[in-house]
Copies of this chain bind each other. A is one copy, B any other.
Amino acid sequence: MFNFTFNIPTIIYFGKGQIKALGQELGKRAKKILIVIGRESVKKYGIFDDVVREVKKAEVSFVELSGVKPNPRLKSVYEGIEICRKEKVGFILAVGGGSVIDASKAIAAGVRYEGDVWDFFTKGVACTDALPVGTVLTLAATGSEMNRHAVITKEDTRRKLAFSSNSVKPVFSILDPEYTYSVNKYHTAAGVADIMSHVFEEYFSQPPSAAVQDRIAEALLKVCIHYGPVVCKKPRGYEARANILWAGSLALNGLLGEGKCGDWASHAIEHEVSAVYDISHGAGLAIIVPNWMKSVLNKGTLNKFVEYGVNVWGIEKKKRETEIARAAIDKTRDFFSSLGLPSRLSEVGITGEHFGDMAKNTIESLGEIGTFKKLSGKDIVEILNMSL
C-alpha cells in the first residue's frame, strides 16, 4: 500500500426525502446561489420544484444556468462564471448528474480565478480557491458528488480534459434514490458501467494488490453485478436504486484509489472517443474496458485477473489461470451487453478514421497512459481497433 492522504469533507444526506436538508445547508452558506441544471428532465420530474421550494423556504435567492449537456462544454462554464460574477453569487448548487456537477465545479473554480478557467485543465495551474459547491444528484454514475475531480470538453478543439482540486469538493450532496427513478434504461445501464469502470481503474493498478482497497472494490463490483440488472428492469425499486447510487459515490471518493496509483487508461481513451463523437461516457466505457482488459492481459498481469475472476465472478479456482482470466473478461463484456449496452464502437456509428489522431492527442496531453500496464499511442490505436 502506498502512502496517502484521505479526506472527504462532503456531508452526504442519503435517502428518500433528504431534500429537506437543503434549506439549512444553503441558509448558512449564501444569500444568493446559482442553480445549475442540464436538460429539462429535472423540471419535468418535479426535482427542480422540490429544490426551489427548499431554496425559497431558506430565504435564499437564486439565478439559473440550464442546458448543461452530457460531456459538458467549456462554453457553459464560461457562461456560468459570467452569471456568478454579475449576480454576486455566493454558492453553486448542481442539480443533476456528473456533467452538471463537473460544470458547476469548473464554474466555481473559474469565478475566483483571474485567468482563463481552461488553464486548470491544460496548464496544470493549481486551483486553490473556489466558490463552495453543493449537489442534488439525479443519476448514479459519476462519483463527482463526493470528490475533487471535474471533466470538461472544449468543443472547438474537441478536447475533453480533467482537473482536480480540494477546493471543489462538494460541501454537501443530497442523494435521494427516488430522484433516480426517472432515468431511462439506457442511461441507467451506462451509469452502472461508469461506476464499474471507476472501480476497475483503481483495482487494476499499482501496486497490483492493496487488500483493503481491493476487497472493497470487489464488494462494490458485486453490488453492481447484483443490482445492475435489477435497476434496469425495475426502475422504481428503492433498494436497488439506493445500492447503486451509494456504490457510485464510494467508487470514486478516494476509498478505492488512495494507497494505490490508479490506471485510468480506459478513461483516457474513452474521453477521446466521446470528445470526438459525443457518445454517452458510460456506453463508451462499456465498449472500451473489456478490450483494454484483453490488451493488458499478460504473464505479469495474469494474477490480478485471476483474483478478479475468482473473487468477483465466482469462477472456480481449480481452473487454469489463463482460462479464469479470459472467462472473467468475457463475463465483464457479457454483463455490459446484458444491460443493453453496446459492445462495439461501430454499433454507435463510429468508424476508425480518427483513431490515429485520437491516440496522438491522448499521448500529447498525457504522455504514456496507464499504470497497470503502460500504453503507447500504438497500443491505444490497437485497443480502439479491437473495439471497432
Contact = CB atoms under 8 A, between A and B. Distances in A.
A348 interface: no
A63 interface: no
A13 B12 CA distance: 22
A223 B215 contact: yes
A127 to B, nearest CB: 19
Contacts of A255: 250, 255
Contact of A219 (B3, B14, B218, B247): B218
A111 to B, nearest CB: 24
Nearest to A216: B219
B9 A14 contact: no
A9 B12 contact: no
Contacts of A85: none
Interface string A210-229: 11100110111011001100
Given A212-B243, A212-B246, A246-B259, A11 B6 contact: yes
A1 B246 contact: yes
A243 B213 CA distance: 9
Interface residues of A, number: 40
A222 B226 contact: no
Interface string A1-18: 111111111111111111
Given A14-B258, A212-B243, 8 more contacts: A2-B15, A3-B16, A7-B9, A7-B11, A8-B8, A211-B226, A215-B222, A255-B255
The 9 A-B residue pairs whose C-beta atoms are closest, nearest first, are A3-B15, A215-B219, A6-B12, A7-B11, A219-B219, A1-B242, A211-B243, A212-B246, A216-B219
26 contacts: A1-B14, A1-B239, A1-B243, A3-B16, A4-B12, A5-B11, A7-B11, A7-B12, A9-B9, A14-B259, A15-B259, A211-B223, A211-B226, A211-B239, A211-B243, A212-B219, A212-B223, A212-B243, A212-B250, A215-B219, A215-B220, A216-B216, A216-B219, A218-B219, A250-B255, A255-B255
